Amino acid sequence: MTPTLHEDLQLQVRDLEIAVVSGAERKPVVKGISFDIRRNETVCLVGESGCGKSVTALAVMGLLQTPPMRIVGGEILLRAGEEVFDLARLDPRGRAFRRLRGAAVSMIFQEPMTSLNPVHRNGAQIVEVIRRHTGLGRRAAWQRMLEMLRLVGIPSPEVRARQYPHELSGGMRQRVMIALALACRPGLLLADEPTTALDVTTQAQILTQIRELSRSSRTSTLFITHDLGVVAQIADRVHVMYLGEVVESGPVREIFHRPRHPYTRGLLASVPSIESEPFSRLTPIRGTVADLPENPAACPFEPRCESGFGLCRGRTPPLFEVSTSHRSKCWLEQEGRP
């Protein structure tokens, strides 16, 4: 049976479960998350280290470290032109997936040096990808490459194209990565902490660039970050992750102006910003992610939660609908509660 996808959607992840499998042991890292990305939309996965946000992106890209990690359930439906693929069932090493990678979905990482080949010139790397996926001739591909470098804001692209990755600054390398990722006009761009290693003035430039590019090239973006400031700058919709689960999701304004889940509220209250009052006592979230509830069936955030009550220690809450677009995985949303 061929998978189907609503025509508005570029990507739909349903009940995705990823686990570290060693022998008979299964340690879940992503516990049945669902989200979708509409065409031409930027969706942020936000959370602290170990929440499963990067693993989710790697799974979409077919780059999970297998073994020990494995998709153990759910589906990842991706639109590629007229077709729809379930990436969870596609062999990541197979030909079909290789054809999709770079053409229908591509990814940029925190450290661009890991994805640029140090022994090839910047331009040649982009030309190679363009030719592999489009069948353009050498000269046409070269022109397209220069156009991409110009588009991502690289000054004198002819010179930069002939240089090697190590001759560029961190910010320039990240721009080359973005040019490489977008060279074949993929429908979906995965960006995993692309600005975390950059300075704030460079980050501001790159974020503006990504925003403009995704608007002009009609690319959907899955943006992964731990930085709520960045989320506010780039997201259309946000999914907040905690310990492998999506605990709250909604449009960016809802999340920032009307957060519902205690974890989201805690995060927002604990981020020092340039507009915080000096010496204002921000309230840290107590404990660490290693604090797990005694009852494995309880809400995983319960040990750190300020508003927990009896029910939280008994059962994990489902995702409650706060409004048509806003969901929160918290018992506080249960009807009849204040």
Partner 1 sequence: MSTTASDPVLEIDRLSVRFPVKHGLFGLGRREVHAVEDFSLTIRRGETIGIVGESGCGKSTLARTIMGLNTPAAGSLRFRPQDRSLGPEGLDLAKASSADWKKVRRKVQIVFQDPFSSLSPKQKVGSIVAEPLIVQGPSFCRDPQARAVDLLERVGLSRRDFDRYPHEFSGGQRQRIMIARAIALDPEVLIADEAVSALDVSIRLQIITLLDELKEVLGLTLIFISHDLGVVRVVSDRIAIMYLGRLAEVGANREVFAAPRHPYTRMLLASTPIPDPDRRPAEAPAFGELPSPIDPPPGCVFHPRCGLADATCRQIVPPPVEVAPGHRARCHHTGAAV
Q: Which residues bind partner 1 (CB under 8 A)?
A: 48-49, 169, 171-172, 199-205, 207-209, 211, 226-233, 235, 252-253, 256, 266-268, 270-285, 288-290
Radius of gyration (Cα) for the chain, nearest Å? 21
Q: How far is the CB of 154 from partner 1 (least distance, A)?
A: 11
Residue tagged 């596609």 (tokens):
90
**Measured from the CB atom, is 15 or 199 closer to partner 1?**
199
Asked if residues 22 and 200 have their Cβ atoms less than 8 Å apart, the reply is no
d(CA 320, CA 301): 16
Pairing, β 9-22 against β 188-192: unpaired
Q: How far is the CB of 138 from partner 1 (least distance, A)?
A: 31
Q: How far is the CB of 50 from partner 1 (least distance, A)?
A: 9
**Measured from the CB atom, is 134 or 202 closer to partner 1?**
202
Is the link from the previous residue into 3 a cis peptide, with omega within 30 of 0?
Answer: no
**Measured from the CB atom, is 117 or 276 closer to partner 1?**
276
Strand partners, 197: none
**Measured from the CB atom, is 96 or 269 closer to partner 1?**
269
DSSP code for 323:
S
Q: How far is the CB of 290 from partner 1 (least distance, A)?
A: 6
Pairing, β 220-225 against β 188-192: parallel
Q: Which two tokens stand for residue 114?
A: 């890991």
Q: How far is the CB of 66 from partner 1 (least distance, A)?
A: 26
H/E element holding 177?
A: helix 170-182
Q: How far is the CB of 45 from partner 1 (least distance, A)?
A: 15
Q: What are phi and psi of 313, to 5 degrees?
A: -80, -10
**Measured from the CB atom, is 95 or 281 closer to partner 1?**
281
Q: How far is the CB of 273 from partner 1 (least distance, A)?
A: 5
Beta strands of 39-101 (E only): which ranges? 42-46, 69-80, 83-86
**Measured from the CB atom, is 48 or 128 closer to partner 1?**
48
Asked if residues 319 and 332 have their Cβ atoms less than 8 Å apart, the reply is no
**Measured from the CB atom, is 90 or 289 closer to partner 1?**
289
**Measured from the CB atom, is 205 or 217 closer to partner 1?**
205
Q: How far is the CB of 102 from partner 1 (least distance, A)?
A: 27
Nearest CA to 269 out of 164, 259, 279, 278 is that of: 259
Q: What are phi and psi of 167, to 5 degrees?
A: -85, -5
Q: How far is the CB of 137 from partner 1 (least distance, A)?
A: 34
- Cα separations in angstroms, 85 against 88, 183, 203: 9, 21, 33
Using a 10 angstrom Cβ sphere, with 0-12 exposed, 13-18 middle and 19 or more buried, the burial of residue 89 is exposed
**Measured from the CB atom, is 77 or 255 closer to partner 1?**
255
